[in-house]
Amino acid sequence: MAGEQGSRQVSTFCALCVARCGAKATITDGAFVALHPDPSHPTGQALCVKGKAGPELVNHPERLLHPLRRTQPKGAADPGWQRITWDEALDTVSARLLALAREHGPESVVFSNASPSTSAISDVVDWVTRLRRAFGSPNHCTYLELCAWGRMLAPMFTFGAAVPGEYLPDLEHAGCILFWGYNPSVARLTHATGTVAALARGARLVVVDPRRVGLAAKADHWLPVRPGTDAALALSLAHVMIERGWFDADFVRRWTNAPLLVRRDTGRLLRAHEVSPGGDPAHYVAWDEVAGEPAAYDPATSRHQVGEERLALAGERTIATQSGVVVCRPVFDLVVEECRRMTPAVAEKVTGVPAVEIERTARTLWEARPVAFYTWSGLEQHSGTTQIVRAIGQLYALTGSLDIRGGNVLFPSVPANRVDGPELLAPSQRARTVGLAKRPLGGARFEYVTGEDLFTAALDSDPYRVRGLVNFGANLVMAHGDSARGRDALAALDFFVHADMFLNPTAELADIVLPVASAFETEGLRIGFEISEAAQSLVQLRSPLVAPRGESRSDLQIIFALATRLGLAEHFWHGDVDAAWRHQLAPSGVTLEQLRAEPAGIRVPLSTRYRKYAEPDGDGPRGFRTPSRKVELYSEVLADHRYPPLPEFEEPPTSPRSRPGLARRYPLILTCAKSLRFCESQHRNVASLRRAALDQQIELHPDTALARGIAAGDWVRIDTPHGSVRARARLNGGLDPGVVCGQHGWWQACAELGLPGYPPYGPGSANLNLVLRQGPSDPVGGNSPLRSSVCEVAPLPLDEPTPA
Ligand SMILES: Nc1nc2c(c(=O)[nH]1)N[C@H]1C(S)=C(S)[C@@H](COP(=O)(O)OP(=O)(O)OC[C@H]3O[C@@H](n4cnc5c(=O)[nH]c(N)nc54)[C@H](O)[C@@H]3O)O[C@H]1N2
Ligand SMILES: Nc1nc2c(c(=O)[nH]1)N[C@H]1C(S)=C(S)[C@@H](COP(=O)(O)OP(=O)(O)OC[C@H]3O[C@@H](n4cnc5c(=O)[nH]c(N)nc54)[C@H](O)[C@@H]3O)O[C@H]1N2
Ligand code: SF4
Ligand SMILES: [Mo]
C-alpha cells in the first residue's frame, strides 16, 4: 500500500474468469506488479496471459475513477459525462428506482450482471440477486440462455440436477473424458491442466467440436460436428451403444424411467388407477414380464411393485384400462426407436462425422468408462439447445457414470448460509417474471429474463414495459444478437444505472455510471473452488493487493450502500459487509478473522459421497429430483407442454439444409468461439493482450479462402442476411470447408498500441452480434442461435477503408 517499501508476495486468486486460478501476487513498493501461479492452491497450476496482465488492467488509464452522470440525450454521439459525487449518484439512483417501483411496480426494474464466468462478478452474484429480490423485482437478466441453460437448467428435465453444470467432471478419476462444445484450453485453464494430467495417467479423451482446437489435438476421438447438429450425433452414439449392448442396462432399468409404460394414444405415462380400480393415480406402471401383467411403480418411495429385473424394456402391450383397451410401450422401446433413426450412416450425412468414428467413439465411451463430461458454449447458443443437451443427457445415462467416482460428481461444499434471499420475493411478484407466459418451463421460472425478452419488454411493452435497469458490468448490447435492437431497447428505458471498471457500449446508454474497483483491489469471499473435492474444501478471502483507484468501490460496497438508500438496510445487515459475511460463514466453522489472517485460505475437510441417488430416504432410495424420481429419458413434463418428450434431432432453422434458397447467397455455416487472450468483449484495450491478437479473426478452411481470393491476414467482410461486419482471415485446415468461425466482442481500441476500436453498430463494425439474431430462439429455454447461422465471406472491397 502507499508509502510501502520493498517487495512481498501475497496469496490470492485471479477472479477474472471461471477458472479462478490460485495465485501469488508480487507487491513492490506498494504497487501490484506481477501475478504468478501458486501450485499449492487447488486451482493454481498455471495462469493464463489475462491473469498475468492483471497489473496492466488495474493501472489502465481508461479505468473509471468517479461516478458519472449523462448530460446529453440518449442517442447523442457523446453522452456528455459529468463527474458527480457518490452521494449524488446513489441519491439519484435510489430516488429514480423508488419512483419506478411506486409508479409502475418493482417488476418494471430489471437487474443484470456480467457473467460470473467472464468476470469477478462471481464475488457478488448472490448479493445482486438479494438486492433485486428485496427490491421486489422478479427480473434478472444474466445470459442464462447463452451460457448456462444447457448445463444448468435443461438437464433438470432429465436428471433433476444440473449435469454437467453442478455435477462436474471428476477429471482426477475419469476413465474417459468427453468435452462437447467446450474448449477448456481457452475457457477454463484448470479443466485443461486437469485433463492433461488425466491423459498422462492413461485416461481417454473425446472432443466434439467443429474445430480441431485445444485438447482436440490430444484426443482419442475428435468428432468435427456440423454446428447445431449435435443432437443427431448424440442419438447416433446412443444407437450404437444400445445395438451393441454397450450400455449400463442395470442403471437404465433401475434408475431411469426406461421401464415405465407410455400410452400410444395420449403420449402420457400410464397410471395405476387407469389399470385397476384400486390403483393410485400417483403411481406409474411398468410391465412385469414374469407375471405377464402390469406392475405399479410408486415415485414416493422410488419402488417398483416387483423386482426391476422382471420389468420389460421392449415390446408393445395391449392393456385393458378403465376406459377401454390402450396400446403401451416401455419408454426404452421408444428411445431405441428414436435412436435407430440415426444410424451412423445417416448421422454422417447430417453431422459430417464419419460413421466409423461414431462407432469407434461409442466403443470408447463404453470400454473406458467411467465417463466424465462437460458441455458449454458450443451447445448453449442454438435454437435447439434443449434437445441437444437432452440427447447428450440420454447418452450419458447409458454409460451409467452419473455420480460415481470418475464420472460427473457433485463435489461436497463447505456449509454456508445462503444469501441470495429467495424468501424476500413474494410469489405474486415471481409470477410476473418477464417471459413466463411465453416459455413456462424456461428460465423465467427461476426469475431469469432472456436478452430477447428484455429487449421486447422495453421496446414493445410485452408483457409489460420494462423501464429501469440496474446493471453490474454486463455488456448487454454487445453480448446479445441484434445489437442494434439492444441499443434501441436500452435507450428506451426511463432510467439505467451501470456499474463497471470501464465504459463499454452498454454503459454509453446509461443515465448514471458507477466506478467499480477491480477484484485485485477488493476483498472477495470464495467458499469453494468447484472443480474437485480439494478445490471445494478451500475457503479464501481475497485480500486487496492495492487500494482501489480513484473513487472506485467494490460491487459489494455499492450493493450495500444502494440497499440502505432504498430502505432495505434490514436485509443487508444495516450496510455492514463484515456482518453479512459472518452470517454467510457461520455454518462453516471458519471465521472472518481467520480468513483475514490467512490470505491463502483455510481448508475445511470434505468427503465426496457417490451414488447419492441410492442412499436410503424414507421408505426407499432417494432417487432423483424429477417427477418420477428416476432419470427421465422420457419427460412427461415436456410432453405436457407440447415439447418432444424424447430427445430428437431438428435441423437448425437457419442452415444450408433448412434454407437452401438462402444458402445460395450465404453458403457457409457461421459459428464462433472465445478468444484466449480476452474475456468476451473485454480486454482489447490491454496492450500486452492485444499485441498478439490485433483484430477480430474469422477462421476459414484454406480451400474456402482460396475459392474466394482470400489470403491469410486479409481483411474480409462477413455477410449474413442481416448485414456485414469485418474481420481478418485466418486459415485453419482443421475446419470443415463449409464452416467458418468468428469471434464476438470486438469494439474496444487500444490507445497504447495505436490500434483502433470498431463501432458496435453501422459501417466499419466488427461486432459479430450486429449481424446475428436472437431468434428463432429455443422454444423451451430461449437460447439464441449465435452458433449455427449462415454467411458468406468476401474480400473487403477496396473502396471500404480498412481500419488498420
Ligand atoms: N456471438 C456471441 N455472443 C456471445 C457469446 C458468444 O460466444 N458468441 N458468448 C455469450 C456468453 S457465454 C456470455 S457469458 C456473454 C458475456 O457477456 P458479458 O457478461 O456482458 O461479458 P463481457 O462482454 O466480458 O463484459 C463484461 C463487462 O463487465 C465489466 N466487469 C468485469 N469485471 C467486473 C466486476 O468485477 N464488476 C463489475 N461491475 N463489472 C465488471 C467489464 O468491464 C465489461 O464491461 O456474451 C454472450 N455473447
Ligand atoms: N479466454 C477466455 N476464457 C473464457 C471466456 C472468454 O471469453 N475468454 N469466457 C468465459 C465464458 S462467459 C464462458 S461461457 C466459457 C465458455 O467456454 P467454451 O464453451 O469452451 O467457449 P467457446 O470457445 O466459445 O466454445 C467451445 C467450443 O465450441 C465449439 N463450437 C462452436 N459451435 C459448435 C457446435 O455447434 N457444436 C459443438 N459441439 N461445438 C461448437 C467452438 O469451436 C469452441 O471450440 O468460457 C469462459 N472463459
Ligand atoms: S484462466 Fe486466466 S483469467 Fe481465468 S482465472 Fe486463470 S489466470 Fe485468471
Ligand atoms: Mo458465458
Tell me the CA–centroid distance for residue 112 and ligand 2, in Å: 22
First to last CA, the chain: 40
- Residues facing 542 on adjacent strands: 524
pLDDT in tens, 237-259: 999 999 999 999 999 999 999 99
Nearest CA to ligand 2 atom 4: 187
CB distance 552 to 65 below 8 Å: yes
With vertex at residue 454, the alpha carbon angle to CA 452 and CA 456, rounded to the nearest 5 degrees, is 70
pLDDT in tens, 658-691: 999 999 999 999 999 999 999 999 999 999 999 9
Q: Is the confidence at residue 19, as pLDDT, over 70? A: yes
Tell me the CA–centroid distance for residue 574 and ligand 1, in Å: 31
Q: Residue 380 CA: which ligand 1 atom is closest?
A: 12
Ligand 1 contacts (CB < 6 A) are 114-115, 117-121, 143, 146-147, 377, 472-475, 478-479, 499-502, 504, 516, 519, 555, 672, 679-682, 744-745, 768-769, 772, 786
Nearest CA to ligand 3 atom 2: 48
Of the candidates 44, 47, 17, which has an alpha carbon nearest to the alpha carbon of residue 34?
A: 47
pLDDT in tens, 138-156: 999 999 999 999 999 999 9
Task: Report DSSP state, residue 544.
Answer: P
Q: Is the confidence at residue 800, as pLDDT, over 70? A: no
Query: Residue 4 — very low, low, confident or very high, per pLDDT cuts 50/70/90?
Result: confident
What does the alpha-carbon distance between residue 597 and residue 530 come to, in Å, rounded to a whole number? 23
Q: Give the SS3 label for residue 95.
A: helix
User: Which residues are within 5 Å of ligand 4 (an ion), measured at CB?
Assistant: 115, 117, 147
CB distance 261 to 274 below 8 Å: no
Tell me the CA–centroid distance for residue 554 and ligand 3, in Å: 20
Nearest CA to ligand 2 atom 41: 673
**How many of the other CB atoms lie within 10 Å of CB of 249?**
14
CB distance 490 to 506 below 8 Å: yes
Sole residue written with cell 412427461: 636
How far from chain centre, in Å, is Cα 541? Answer: 25
Tell me the CA–centroid distance for residue 777 and ligand 2, in Å: 19
Nine cell digits for residue 71: 448530460
pLDDT in tens, 734-763: 999 999 999 999 999 999 999 999 999 999
What pLDDT was estimated at residue 804?
A: 39
Q: Is the confidence at residue 798, as pLDDT, over 70? A: no
Nine cell digits for residue 367: 470400454
CB distance 752 to 764 below 8 Å: no
Nearest CA to ligand 1 atom 30: 473
What does the alpha-carbon distance between residue 550 and residue 383 come to, in Å, rounded to a whole number? 44
pLDDT in tens, 353-402: 999 999 999 999 999 999 999 999 999 999 999 999 999 999 999 999 99
The 3-class SS string of 676-729 reads: CCCCCCCCCCCHHHHCCCCCCEEEECHHHHHHCCCCCCCEEEEEECCEEEEEEE
Mean pLDDT of 310-330: 96
* Segment holding 273, helix H or strand E: helix 272-275
Which ligand neighbours the alpha carbon of 16 most closely?
3
pLDDT in tens, 497-553: 999 999 999 999 999 999 999 999 999 999 999 999 999 999 999 999 999 999 999
Outline where 214-311 has alpha helix (H).
230-244, 249-255, 272-275
Nine cell digits for residue 273: 388407477
Residue 108: CA atoms inside 13 Å, Cβ hemisphere, count? 20
Query: Residue 1 — very low, low, confident or very high, per pLDDT cuts 50/70/90?
Result: low
Nearest CA to ligand 2 atom 3: 187
Is the pTM higher than 0.95? The answer reads: yes
pLDDT in tens, 552-596: 999 999 999 999 999 999 999 999 999 999 999 999 999 999 999
CB under 8 Å to 313, separation ≥6 — which residues?
249, 252, 253, 258, 259, 330, 332, 333
With vertex at residue 357, the alpha carbon angle to CA 352 and CA 361, rounded to the nearest 5 degrees, is 120
Q: Phi then psi for 223, rounded to 5 degrees?
A: -110, 100
Q: Left if phi > 0, otherwise alpha if psi is -120 to 50, otherwise beta: which for 90?
A: alpha
Nine cell digits for residue 621: 432410495
Tell me the CA–centroid distance for residue 152 and ligand 1, in Å: 19
Ligand 2 contacts (CB < 6 A) are 17-18, 115, 117-118, 147, 180-183, 186-188, 208-211, 213, 225, 227-228, 230, 376-379, 671, 673-676, 678-680, 741, 787-788
Decide: 25 in ligand 3 pocket, CB within 6 A.
no
CB distance 729 to 714 below 8 Å: yes
Tell me the CA–centroid distance for residue 522 and ligand 3, in Å: 17
Q: Is the confidence at residue 624, as pLDDT, over 90? A: yes
